[in-house]
Amino acid sequence: MAATAAVPFPLAAGTRLLGEVISWTCSGVAVTHAALVAALKDAGLDESVARELAPKHAFSRACKKLCDRRIIRQVAEDEATVKFQFTQESRDGDRYEYALETMLALDKRTGRVTCDLPGLATLAQEELDRATDARSGGDVTRVIQKLFERAADLFPTRPQGGCYFTPIRHAAFVDRVQGMLGRLNGQILRFPVPAGTAEGDRSVKDAVAAGLADLIDAHRKAVAAFGEDTREDTLKRAAEKSRTTRLKVEGYAELLAEEKARLDRGLAAARDELRRKVEQLAATAPAVA
C-alpha cells in the first residue's frame, strides 16, 4: 500500500512511495552481547532477539578452537538439542586414522554443553561462553532478520539475498534499525521507490509476490513432512502461519495486483493440505484406553 504518512525522505508534492529498497552491511562488526542489547534498547527495538541468538551459531565459532586434531560434525538435531560427533584424528606413518572420541550435546535453549568426557565438556563450555559473548557481523544480520520477521516485512530483490524491498508502512521501523546499526558501526542503505513508474511498480509486485509465494511453499513443505510424531503445538503453529500469510496477502493486495489471485489459490491449497494432514493424523492416532 502506498503511504501518505510522513516518510524520512524529502518528496516532491504529490509523490507517493511504495517503499524502499534496503541493504545493510555489518562485515567486520564485533561487539559484546551487552553492547548489542544496549543498541537494541536505545533504538526502541525488541531486546529479546539478542538473547535468542542460537547457541548453535556461537558453537560453530567455538568449534574452531576445539578442532585441534579432531573433526567435529553435527549428527542430529531436534527442537531442544543439537548433537555433535567428535572424531579423533591421528597419523600413523603415511595414513591417517580416525576414532570416535565422544558425542557432545548442546542445549539450544540454555547453551549448556554435555558429553561423557568431563574435561572436554568444560573446555567446550568455556569456548562456547566466549563465543556467545562476542557477537559478529553475522549475528547482527540474524538479529536484523529476526526483527523484521516479528515487526515488518523484507522481500528479497535478488535470489542471493542481501538486498530487499520493504513497504513504506515500515519506514519508521527501518529508521530504528538504522539507528541500531549506527551504534554498532554498521550501515544501512535506503533507496526510495516512488509509485507510478512502470518498472518500479512491476519490480515491487514481482518481489512481494515471490516473497509471499516462498512463504506459502515453505508452509506446504512443512505440512507434507508432518508425521505421526508431529506434536499438537506444531500443528497449531502451522495453522497460525497460514493465517498470518493470508493476512499479508490481503494487506499487500494493492502492490500485488493480478498476482494476488495466484497467491490466493496457493493459500487455499495449503489450507486444504493442512486440514487433510490433521484429519489423517487424527485417524491414525492410537486410541486412549
Summarize pLDDT for 13-35 with one digit per residue, the tens: 677 899 999 999 987 788 888 88
More confident residue, 34 or 45: 45
Average pLDDT of span 49-71: 77
Q: What percent of the chain has pLDDT over 90?
A: 49
User: What's the average model confidence in pLDDT over 62-77?
Assistant: 84
Smallest CA-to-CA distance from 18 within 202, 258, 193, 203 is with 193
Q: Going by C-beta distance under 8 Å and a sequence separation of 6 or more, which residues neighbour residue 233?
A: none
Phi-psi region of 70 (alpha: psi -120 to 50; beta: other; left: phi over 0): beta
For the residues of 102-151, what is the DSSP string, one character each? Answer: EEEEEETTT--EEES-HHHHHHHHHHHHHHHHEEEHHHHHHHHHHHHHHH
- Which pLDDT tens digit goes with each residue over 212-255? 999 999 999 988 888 888 888 888 888 998 999 999 999 999 99
**pLDDT of 29:** 80
Cα angle 12, 13, 17 (rounded to 5 degrees) comes to: 65
Chain segment 148-177, per-residue pLDDT in tens: 999 999 999 988 888 999 999 999 999 999
Average pLDDT over residues 119-134: 84
Residue of 103 and 93 predicted with greater confidence: 103
Which residue pairs, CB below 8 angstroms and at least 24 apart, start in 4-7? 7/168, 7/171, 7/192
Is the predicted pLDDT of residue 8 greater than 70, yes or no? no
Phi, psi of 102 (to 5 degrees): -170, 170
Angle at 86 between CA 100 and CA 96, to 5 degrees: 60
Position 283 pLDDT exceeds 70: yes
Residue 122 has, within 13 A of its CA and on its CB side, a CA count of 3
pLDDT given at position 48: 85
pLDDT at 286 over 70: no
Share of the chain above pLDDT 70, in %: 93
User: Which tens digit of pLDDT belongs to each residue from 187-198?
Assistant: 999 999 999 999
Q: Please, which pLDDT band fits residue 3 given cuts at 50, 70 and 90?
A: very low
Q: What is the mean pLDDT of the chain?
A: 87
Cell numbers found for residue 246:
493470508
Residue 145 pLDDT level (bands cut at 50, 70, 90): very high
Contact 62, 222 (CB under 8 A): no
CA distance 42 to 36: 10
What is the tens place of the pLDDT at every residue in 111-125? 889 999 988 889 888
